[in-house]
Amino acid sequence: MSGNGSMDENKVPLLDYSSAQVVENNIEEEEEEEKKFLGRFWVESKKLWQIVGPAIFSRIASYSMFVITQAFAGHLGDLELAAMSIASNVILGFDFGLMLGMASALETLCGQAFGAKRYDMLGIYLQRSWVVLFLCCVVMLPLFFFATPVLKALGQAEDVSELSGVVVMAFLPLHFCFAFQFPLQRFLQSQLKNSVIAWANFVALIVHILLSWLIVYRFQLGIIATALTLNFSWFVIFFGLLGYTVCGGCPLTWPGFSMEAFTGLWDFFKLSVSSGVMLCLENWYYRILIVMTGNLENAKIAIDALSICMNINGWEMMIPLGFFAGTGVRVANELGAGNGKGAKFAAFVSVSHSMIIGLFFWLLILTFDNQLALIFSSSQTVLQVVHDLSFLLASTVLLNSIQPILSGVAVGSGWQAYVAYINLGCYYLVGVPLGIMMEWVFHQGVKGIWAGMIFGGTAVQTIILCIITIRCDWEKEAQKANNHVKKWESVGHGAS
């Protein structure tokens, strides 16, 4: 018995040691995997912020030029401020959203071609985009020529509509500048040359501030000259980027002007329109919110408070839009290189970063809503309405820290047409009717309209995009991207 007992005792430590060794090995493997994961996360984060950082700055700078123009117009008089606001936000805002969206087709094509190392095609894609967007600019000219009757039909005051129509005509050079500058930015962005874009926007912002001050205060040249400063400043950006591109900044991707730019235009147009519709449906969504609010009782207070919220949201929105650009480029680059797992990981890293920033601003708005509103108004009535809307504003900011990044995944993957249908269904078949019902059936005012549009439209769209992204077969998408690049390459070369 004692002998058997001693034998059992001798076996126990051996078993315990073996089990402990297995556990220790598992811990070491987990630690090693964690180190690998953190290492990959850090490497991808650096690649992402190489695009996102300059992209955020560039968007804030370009957004600021519009705000500065309106601010200087406000010093000319109330009518001038109203006319400049309507001209830039309604007519030019529509134009801006459409041109920006159509240019986003290059994020798919140039991003995937760059990842596949078919560098010569990037310059061809850029020139095709110029041709397509220029033709669209020509088609849209009646919107500028007949801006005054259009604005009157939308219910704007006669004097504001008349002056807005004159201001809009002063923006015609900017209208065509959009068609050439936005594709050029996407072309450089897909090659990770965002610092060039940031520097061009910085120089233009400084020029714009100085020029606006001279026009308004020094020479007192009026509202038309004030509007023309915006044209000049944006052309500073364009010629800066164009000079960099054609004068040796992109030796691999700029083959010079080519007749191939005039081939495959119909297919290019369809992809550009899909991109334009996808982004425009999002851009117009919150403009509808302001229009519906204008039909409420005591609409002036509601619109003032909502405008403050939209301004705060607009400034913060430049951050997720920077991530939108970065995500589209990183996903397209990885898919073009045939790395499906890399594209999936890039999307995960981008959403993680943006969500952390979104949570920070969500908390900031809930904590300091009155202090933020004081930047725009000192009216206690308006401040109280802003306070009542702060939860919806914070929720909008939080959702917008996710939704644009998922849209960036869609752009990088070439899903623009599918997402356009999703946006149409979620925003205009669910969100807008729900917002209308919350006001005209349940009488919840601006809070009801906004809540219906946010939780009925934006939240549903975000959930659908999350499901699509999570369930995506990324290796299959990488193969599709490779086929996509070959198809677009053959379109040009075959026709030539």
pLDDT over 90, % of the chain: 26
Q: What is the pTM of this model?
A: 0.78
pLDDT band at residue 73 under the 50/70/90 scheme:
confident
Q: Is residue 23 part of a domain?
A: no
For residue 15, being part of any structural domain is answered with no
256 in the same domain as 374: no
Give the structural domain span for 331: 271-490
Stretch among 175-184, 239-248, 335-344, 357-366 having the lowest mean pLDDT: 335-344
Question: Where residue 24 falls among pLDDT bands split at 50, 70, 90?
Answer: low
- Asked if 212 and 351 sit in the same domain, the reply is no
pLDDT of 494: 45
- Which pLDDT score, from 0 to 100, does residue 362 have? 94
What is the model's pLDDT at position 93?
A: 77
What mean pLDDT do residues 481-494 have?
66
In a domain, 3, yes or no: no
Residue 166 · residue 224 · CB < 8 Å: yes
* Predicted confidence (pLDDT) at residue 147 exceeds the cutoff of 60: yes
pLDDT at 101: 80
Among the listed ranges 5-19, 40-54, 139-153, 377-391, which one has the minimum average pLDDT value?
5-19
Determine, yes or no, domain membership for 58. yes
pLDDT value for 495 = 43
pLDDT at residue 25 tops 70: no
CB–CB of 450/289 below 8 Å?
A: yes
Is the same domain home to 202 and 324?
no
- Looking at the fold, whether 304 and 417 belong to one and the same domain comes out as yes
**pLDDT value, residue 1:** 45
pLDDT at 326: 87
Tell me what pLDDT residue 208 has.
93
Same domain, yes or no, for 257 and 280?
A: no
Return mean pLDDT, the chain.
83
CA 163 and chain centroid, separation: 31
- Give yes or no: residues 95 and 60 share one domain: yes
Give yes or no: residues 180 and 255 share one domain. Answer: yes
User: Residue 324 pLDDT more than 80?
Assistant: yes
- Does one domain contain both 176 and 201? yes
Residues 226 and 332 occupy one common structural domain: no
Find the largest Cα–Cα distance for the chain. Answer: 111
pLDDT of residue 313: 83
Instruction: Retrieve residue 228's tokens.
Output: 């023309």
What total of structural domains would you count in the chain? 2
Binning pLDDT at 50, 70 and 90, where does residue 7 land?
A: very low
pLDDT for 278 beyond 80: no
254 and 282 housed in the same domain: no
pLDDT at 12 over 50: no
pLDDT at position 291, please?
Answer: 64
Tell me the mean pLDDT in the region 70-88. 77
In a domain, 2, yes or no: no
Position 128 pLDDT exceeds 60: yes
Indicate if 249 and 334 belong to the same structural domain: no
Tokens of 216: 């308004």
More confident residue, 220 or 238: 238
317 by Cβ neighbours in 10 Å (0-12 / 13-18 / 19+) ranks as buried
**Cα–Cα nearest to 187, from 100, 274, 245:** 245
- Let me know if residue 429 belongs to a domain: yes
Contacts of 423 (CB under 8 A, 6+ apart): 277, 278, 281, 282, 461
User: In 281-322, at which residue ranges do the beta strands (DSSP E only) sit?
Assistant: none
Query: In the listed set 220, 240, 263, which residue is the last one of a domain according to the structure?
Result: 263
Boundary-marking domain end, from 243, 263, 283: 263
17 domain residue, yes or no: no
Residue 100 has pLDDT above 60, yes or no: yes
CA distance 444 to 453: 13
pLDDT of residue 20: 57
Q: Among residues 395, 422, 393, which one has the least CA distance to residue 406?
A: 422
Q: Count of residues for the chain?
A: 496
Determine the average pLDDT of the residues in 217-233: 88
For the segment 88-103, the average pLDDT, to the nearest whole number, is 81
Determine, yes or no, domain membership for 227.
Answer: yes
Report residue 492's pLDDT band, with 50, 70 and 90 as the boundaries: low
How far the first Cα of the chain sits from its last, in Å, is 95
CA distance 469 to 348: 10
Residue-wise pLDDT for 397-451, tens only, equals: 999 899 889 888 888 887 877 888 888 888 888 988 998 898 788 878 888 888 8
Q: Are residues 304 and 256 in the same domain?
A: no
Boundary (domain end) residue, out of 245, 263, 281: 263
